[in-house]
A and B are shown apart, each in its own frame.
Chain A
Amino acid sequence: DIQMTQSPSSVSASVGDRVTITCRASQAINSRLAWYQQKPGEAPKLLLYDASTLQTGVPSRFSGSGSGTDFTLTITSLQPEDFATYFCQQANAFRALTFGGGTKVEIK
């Protein structure tokens, strides 16, 4: 299976900060990557797919980039509702669909 490694595992930030989360795949997956946000007690929510395409209704302060093995999720101007855990997901249908270990964005 393709292993997905996220870093950092947690980050402390303030409202208004720019936050970048990295996801690395153990094998190249083109741009077949999705990002999810999960708040405590809730199901994950799809933010982006195809590495950089914003899901309908997701604010434009979220953006994604990368291809091959290295990907980033960037949140510009962090808002109070953005404090959550973020997961990347390998989205190549011909391989096992695996998630990264998560990155918790906490209030500094």
Chain B
Amino acid sequence: DVKVTQSSRYLVKRTGEKVFLECVQDMDHENMFWYRQDPGLGLRLIYFSYDVKMKEKGDIPEGYSVSREKKERFSLILESASTNQTSMYLCASSGSRTLNYGYTFGSGTRLTVV
């Protein structure tokens, strides 16, 4: 069964901490995405990557960075966590040859910054 695995389901971090969210996919997908999901705001794209070591800013990149050193792994980094980054974070992947077939999402990480 194909999978996108996010390292943590729940995280609680303190303001100012550096936070790493990890995402691994086993489908050999070229494209990987990080979204945050908040009530009333829907899914908002933070960053995406269409190849190893490539990254593109999404709609809300401020306060975040990403790393893609290997094809299967895409990491989201909160440089200095703030309370307004409390959210549900979703990782997704897709294949460039199967764009019409949508994304595979991970189960999400519920991050609380206190």
Pair from one complex: no
Residues of A that sit less than 8 Å from B by CB: none
